[in-house]
Amino acid sequence: MTNPSILILPGDGIGPEVMTEVEKIIAWFGEARDLKFNVETDLVGGAAYDKHGTPLADSTLEKAMNADAVLLGAVGGPAYDDLDFSVKPERGLLKLRKEMDLFSNLRPAQCFDALADFSSLKRDVVAGLDIMIVRELTSGIYFGEPRGIIKEGNERVGINTQRYTESEIERVARSAFELARRRGNKVCSMEKANVMESGILWREVVTEVHAKDYADVELSHMYADAGAMQLCRYPKQFDVIVTDNLFGDILSDAAAMLTGSLGMLPSASLGAPMENGRPKALYEPVHGSAPDITGQGKANPIACILSFAMALRYSFDEGAEADRLEAAVETVLANGARTADLIGEEGVEPLSTSAMGDAILAA
């Protein structure tokens, strides 16, 4: 049997810096755990624009479509701010998501015990938190037609349309229920069925899918505004939250900050199963290209490393190996290792990006 394939797209800014640490870890799995991958690396974002004049070359897209998993660092940066909209680095990532039809965006919000006190960074976190937000990623108000800015009488009108088909709701609901079965077996679905037709349909379809195939999973519904309130008040009541593109965008950022640092947060975007049964998948840290710290060896590689742990779990069915990698991160943090973003005014000497990667490897 051939080894599963991974396409690595380091991208821009700190993307290549954090991805270097992931590459070390992938190599380690091959040697120490006999878990071998065929790894290929290519350009995306500004790096691709510099070479090809486009943020996503057709050849790269084709590789992504055929890979068992794609790992992406980050795209964008001030050097590309003045580019035409159609070739901006971010368009490369959006095109990738769109072409791969990655409809289910998994955003964990998990607080590591060793980072339960962030008071030196003037930040409150929720110790022991471990929830997952599933955001619909390819439809809803960010894509619905009609859209645009039109003239109506004497004034301009900005228009966006929230639109969801049954099948779009059903597939993301299924992915949330499947996920819940591997976690706390609980799903809370959020919409605004009190004021939006798309919300009414969302609630109906989620309820139908649940009754038909996932009755063993505990299901509840909340209006998204009440859900936002509950997420602040008592976030540990949740296990998996499933919601649409717009609400998911906001709720997942809010949930992320309950855990402390942007440098710690992974994500997965999943699509339909391929012929080999694996979902089309893209894994990336939540953070961006961080131009303010690029090239200084300061970037925290943990978000990117935990994104690879998600790949082990969701693309390669290697849950035990994902646990192993996450445990190594936990151990290193418990031993006091910190990159600069995790340090307040305590005067602890920060680790560089590569020193943090090495410490995780050693653990």
Give, in degrees to the nearest 5, the angle at Cα 108 between 357 and 338: 30
Side-chain-facing half-sphere of 13: CA atoms under 13 Å: 23
CB-nearer residue toward Mg ion: 15 or 288: 288
Q: Measured between alpha carbons, how far apart are the two ends of the chain, in Å?
A: 30
Cα–Cα distance between 212 and 219 in angstroms, integer?
13
Cα–Cα distance between 271 and 223 in angstroms, integer?
26
Residues 9-28 close enough to bind ligand ATP by CB under 6 A: 14, 18
Instruction: Determine whether the annotation assigns residue 86 to a binding site.
Output: yes
Give, in degrees to the nearest 5, the angle at Cα 108 between 104 and 109: 145
- Residue 190 phi, psi (nearest 5): -120, 135
| Cβ proximity of 138 and 101 under 8 Å | yes
Residues 209-248 close enough to bind ligand ATP by CB under 6 A: none
Among the residue ranges 60-68, 102-110, 155-163, 291-299, the one whose residues contact ligand ATP (CB under 6 A): 291-299
Cα–Cα distance between 149 and 241 in angstroms, integer?
33
Residues 269-328 close enough to bind Mg ion by CB under 5 A: 288
Pick what 248 binds: ligand ATP, Mg ion, none; C-beta below 5 to 8 Å, kind-dependent.
Answer: none
Q: Is 142 a catalytic residue?
A: yes
Strands 155-161 and 144-152: what pairing?
antiparallel
Interaction pattern, residues 306-345, with ligand ATP; x per rule: CB under 6 A: -----------------------------------x----
Judged by CB under 6 A, which of 287, 306, 315, 318 binds ligand ATP? Answer: 287
Give me the least distance between CB of 330 and ligand ATP, in Å please.
18
**Reading across the β-sheet that carries 69-74, which strands appear in turn?**
38-41, 5-11, 69-74, 279-285, 266-273, 104-110, 130-136, 240-243, 186-191, 218-223
Cα–Cα distance between 341 and 264 in angstroms, integer?
10
269 binds ligand ATP (CB under 6 A): no
Give, in degrees to the nearest 5, the angle at Cα 135 between 133 and 137: 155
| Catalytic position from the list 117, 142, 186, 358 | 142
- Residue 116 phi, psi (nearest 5): -75, -20
Instruction: Determine whether the annotation assigns residue 347 to a binding site.
Output: no
Give me the least distance between CB of 185 and ligand ATP, in Å please.
32
Cα–Cα distance between 120 and 347 in angstroms, integer?
10
| Catalytic position from the list 68, 239, 244, 249 | 249
Q: Is 244 a catalytic residue?
A: no
| Catalytic position from the list 192, 214, 280, 283 | 192
Among the residue ranges 53-61, 119-127, 138-146, 287-295, the one whose residues contact ligand ATP (CB under 6 A): 287-295
Cα–Cα distance between 202 and 276 in angstroms, integer?
30
CB-nearer residue toward Mg ion: 178 or 249: 249
CB-nearer residue toward ligand ATP: 219 or 282: 282
Nearest to 70 by CA among 89, 43, 108, 109: 43
Pick what 124 binds: Mg ion, ligand ATP, none; C-beta below 5 to 8 Å, kind-dependent.
Answer: none
132 binds ligand ATP (CB under 6 A): no
Q: Is 249 a catalytic residue?
A: yes
Sign of CA dihedral 203, 208, 210, 215: positive
Among the residue ranges 78-86, 133-141, 292-300, 310-318, the one whose residues contact ligand ATP (CB under 6 A): 292-300
CB-nearer residue toward Mg ion: 92 or 279: 92
Instruction: Determine whether the annotation assigns residue 292 to a binding site.
Output: yes
Instruction: Determine whether the annotation assigns residue 81 to a binding site.
Output: yes
Q: Is 225 a catalytic residue?
A: yes
| Catalytic position from the list 101, 117, 130, 253 | 253
Instruction: Determine whether the annotation assigns residue 178 to a binding site.
Output: no
Cα–Cα distance between 6 and 71 in angstroms, integer?
7
Instruction: Determine whether the annotation assigns residue 217 to a binding site.
Output: no
Instruction: Determine whether the annotation assigns residue 24 to a binding site.
Output: no
The catalytic residue positions are 142, 192, 225, 249, 253
Under the rule (CB under 6 A), what is the footprint of ligand ATP? 14, 18, 76, 262-263, 287-290, 292-293, 299-300, 303, 341
Applying CB under 5 A, which residues contact Mg ion?
288
Residue positions in the annotated binding site for NAD(+)? 77-90, 288-300
